[in-house]
A and B are shown apart, each in its own frame.
Chain A
Amino acid sequence: MRGVIAAGAYIPRGRLDRQEITATFGKGGGSGTRSVASYDEDTTTMGAEAARCVLRDSDSVDPDSLWFATSSPAYLEKTNAAAIHAALRLPRSAGALDLGGAIRSGIGALRTALAGNGTTLVVASDMRDGLVTSSDEAAGGDGASAVLVGDESAGPVIAEYIGSGVVTDEMLERWRIPGARRSRTWEERFGEAAYAPLIDLAFADALADSAVSAADIDHLIFTGMHQRAVSRNRRRLGVDDAKSVDDLSRVIGNTGTAHPTLILASILERAEPGETIMVMMLADGVEAIVLRVTDAITEHQSTHSVETQLTQSAPISYGKFLSWRGMVDIEPPNRPAPNRPSAAAAHRRADWKFGFVGTRDRSSGMIHMPPARVSQKGGAVDDMEEAPMADTAGTIASFTIDKLVYSPSPPVVFAVVDFDGGGRTPIELTDVEPDEVQIGDRVEPTFRRLFTSDEIHNYFWKVRPLRTAASDEDS
């Protein structure tokens, strides 16, 4: 049996109320909210967070490949998947590939992994926006998803891959040239009409390939960037409306490349053994994947579920959204912008910078963050072992709010954190309201982009209020 071993998602904490757009400009916006990546997040960091969730939920399953799909890459030419690979501390022998540019590449990567062999972690991540008041701005969302695909021999399969349908059609329906600030679309009616026959074709192929009928489908995930083509054409399939899955667009918006697998992850949190799931996406043709939920799903636990993340949110003002997206420039503190990191220094310390791995002195047990060769306690030299800290929670020993220092989004909230089981480091806090931080607050590491200098993204870890199993800690 081959299929999905685990699936998860990362939804950033910020939510923009679409009414704010309407109130500000007298047009655009709409009802509901959309998810907003923080100023220190990009598709790479969100992808890393989604992938961390999945690997946490499927312990001891090591992917031999990592595929990363986004329409909004942090870098071109350089492999963004390599940063995620480093944050996950995958072995060097594990491949890491970007499948870039097209929105279709996310679901396409999943289908290719399901139809292929080996154990592949498929990560899709996107940040969607457009010009002020555009429909892309309001309808878009930010988020990432990750699906671990493999054979039963690698780990329990929670959803078996039973078939797919693929249709490719060259069409100028949605496009963006490299470097452009916004996407362009052709007249709506064109796409709606053009997609209709392609949907029929892909759907029929998928049903035939998986030997199921439309009536057998328990969960239909039907997505695409063309809202009208999606909403008007769904009924063509003859699947009961009740089987159509909520696409979360009213809460988080459409997360583009990440969206079909993000919704799949949310469905797998509540699917029952034996149920059939169809995932379809309209993007220059149609991708359709059919999965059957297995008994193993009952044993599967999601430590960082989509359902919880939907509730762990905080409003982001439209002004913040625009400044974080580079649509307006905010006056920075009159301090020098940070220096670019050194490639050589970062390479030497990739375990620390990307993996948040300190060292533990074997003789005294003291944890050193950053890693050290000479022990602070006892002075032993070169007698250290790795101390991975990325999945360790901690407690704020003291904190401060710095309104003077340079930051892409002042002020900086900074804390001295004592990690459970040992290890202290002074580190920046993120996803917090500055006036709500208190000594004793519980926090956990999160992979972020500190700043960008000289076109180099400076990735490192921060801490955020504990989200994983937050309710357990509170009770």
Chain B
Amino acid sequence: MGSHGIKDQVAIIGMGCTKFAEHWDKSLDDLIIDAAQSTYNSAGVEQSDVDAFWFGTSQSAASGLALAGPLKIQGKPVTRVENYCATGSEAMRQAAYAVASGAYDVVMAVGAEKVKDGGYQGLNAFPIPTDGTQRTLTAAAMFSLILPAYSNKYGIDENELRYVIAKIAEKNHHNGARNPLAQFRRETSAEQICEMAAVAGKLSVFDCAGVADGAAGVILCRADQAHRYTDNPLHIKALSVVTGTGAGSLDPDYDYTTLDECRWAADDAYAQAGVTDPRSEIALAEVHDCFTPTELVLMEDLGFADRGTAWSEVLAGAFDLDGRLPVNTDGGLKAFGHPVGASGLRMLYEVWLQLRGEAPDDRRIPATDRTLGLTHNLGGYPGEMVSFVGIYGTEPG
């Protein structure tokens, strides 16, 4: 028994990503087709070269038919995947494991979400019949619980902490302003964000991810066959998912200053990849900044900062584009919005660009000898969530 991972068994040979936006003129099918075509082009393959497909969408469609239909996939297995906000990454994980198992040679994962047809602001959960006792808070409110808890535990003034998380938004918008695929391309200062009205706890609208439509795709193959398609593939070093039991919502010992599932997924992924010091080995990380306090505590849960120090590291610029460990160099959920099924693959797309030296000059990470990139998703709430951590590298093992 054990979590062994599939280090260096599967390679990424092509990726595509649509612009994330309020695509009033594009349907879910349009987004799927656009993402799939750019992914095929990137890998230099035809749709008929792909042996099996995984489709990640949270609420926009059901079953593999939603991918097979628009792409006219004939006679191939297509599986729909859903796992909250980790949906896109999960689709890729299932696809990768299918290759590692030897079942298929070339596979594709597509993640897509059409949010803006819903008619409401924000993301809204699919209604499931219940006894009516489940809470109906917004995710913003649930994540806002982190702030008072963190400030209490580490003795940081809540207003100062409020400024720290605004700096996280400022950083991500700075990066997003340099990304043509991002939904929001305007820079915003922490000072401006601090002046905005609170909507959930101390969080303003600018502490929340935007809402956008989008799609992204990835093609994977056996690592030993990657050279047939590209000279510079990325190699999957680790894929980890940890799904909480909801302990934090039950257990008085949980203090809302950490996201256990993320910590566990990171530990598992580092073990799979053989990473012993993420701060010196990871070149960039794309993390799930659904709300600014989330990114704050993630820096500690992912091992990028010591406990109780992420706030000062943020102020010191450690995670800026030119910092010691750049985080969300593409602009993150803050600048991209969060089409749930697509977000995980959008993050991987940035790692794909950065590690292969294809990111544009104005948002390229500093040159180092580090060869690894990390993507992270979480879905759910503090105390009860799904978490994904993936690690990818330019060098085969």
Contact = CB atoms under 8 A, between A and B. Distances in A.
A335 B137 contact: no
Interface in B125-160: 127, 129-133, 135-138, 140-142, 144-145, 148-149, 152
Contacts of B201: 400-402
Contacts of B145: 398-400, 416
Contacts of A423: 252
A370 to B, nearest CB: 7
Interface in A337-379: 338-342, 344-346, 348-349, 352-353, 366, 368-370, 376-377
The CB with the most chain B CB atoms within 10 A, among A334, A349, A369, A397, is that of A397
Nearest to A395: B252
Nearest to A414: B137
B150 to A, nearest CB: 10
A146 B152 CA distance: 43
B199 interface: yes
Interface string A384-421: 00000000000001111111111000001010101000
Contacts of A405: 136-138, 141
A182 interface: no
B308 interface: no
A370 B256 contact: no
Contacts of A342: 129-132
Interface in B265-301: none
A369 B130 contact: no
B103 interface: no
B148 A398 contact: yes
A353 B131 contact: yes
Contact of B136 (A334, A338, A349, A370): A338
A276 B283 CA distance: 86
B249 A402 contact: no
Given A335-B122, A335-B124, A427 B131 contact: no
Given A339-B127, A422-B252, A404 B133 contact: no
Interface string B83-94: 000000000000
B130 to A, nearest CB: 5
Given A400-B141, A405-B138, A424-B251, A460 B199 contact: no
Contacts of B252: 397, 418, 422-424
Contact of A369 (B144, B149, B250): B250
B198 interface: yes
Given A336-B124, A400-B200, A376 B130 contact: no
Contacts of B312: none
B41 interface: no
B24 interface: no
Contacts of A397: 149, 252, 255-256
Nearest to B146: A398
B250 A403 contact: no
A380 interface: no
Contacts of A369: 250
Interface residues of A, number: 47
A426 B384 CA distance: 12
B120 A404 contact: no
A450 interface: yes
A376 B250 CA distance: 8
A400 B121 contact: no
A368 B131 contact: no
A402 B129 contact: no
Given A346-B131, A376-B247, A405-B136, A335 B144 contact: no
A458 interface: yes
A353 B141 contact: no
The CB with the most chain B CB atoms within 10 A, among A348, A353, A402, is that of A402
B245 interface: yes
Interface string B217-256: 0000000000000000000000000000111011110111
A428 interface: yes
Contacts of A370: 133
A246 B149 CA distance: 48
A1 interface: no
B131 A402 contact: no
Contacts of B132: 340-342, 345-346, 353, 450, 458-460
Interface in A249-268: none
Contacts of A368: 250
Nearest to B140: A404
A327 B245 CA distance: 44
A6 B126 CA distance: 47
A423 B141 CA distance: 22
Nearest to A337: B136
A95 B334 CA distance: 57
A439 interface: yes
Contact of B141 (A346, A414, A422, A427): A414
A403 B199 contact: yes
Given A352-B133, A376-B245, A401-B200, A425 B250 contact: yes
A334 B122 CA distance: 9
The CB with the most chain A CB atoms within 10 A, among B120, B122, B251, B256, is that of B251
The CB with the most chain A CB atoms within 10 A, among B124, B129, B249, B252, is that of B252
Contacts of B127: 336, 339
A349 B129 CA distance: 13
A352 B131 CA distance: 9
Contacts of B383: 426
Contacts of B254: 424
Contacts of B246: 376
B208 to A, nearest CB: 9
Contacts of B131: 341-342, 345-346, 348-349, 352-353
B135 A439 contact: no
A224 to B, nearest CB: 38
Contacts of B144: 400
Interface string B375-389: 000000001000000
B148 A401 contact: no
Contacts of B255: 397
A369 B251 CA distance: 10
A342 B131 CA distance: 6
Given A336-B124, A416-B256, A345 B129 contact: yes
Nearest to B197: A403
A427 B145 CA distance: 13
A404 B199 contact: yes
Interface string A271-283: 0000000000000
Given A427-B135, A460-B132, A400 B142 contact: yes
A140 to B, nearest CB: 30
Contacts of A418: 252
A119 to B, nearest CB: 31
9 contacts: A336-B120, A336-B124, A341-B129, A346-B132, A398-B149, A403-B199, A404-B140, A412-B141, A424-B251
Given A353-B131, A376-B250, A426-B137, 10 more contacts: A335-B138, A336-B124, A366-B251, A397-B256, A399-B148, A404-B141, A405-B136, A405-B138, A426-B135, A459-B132
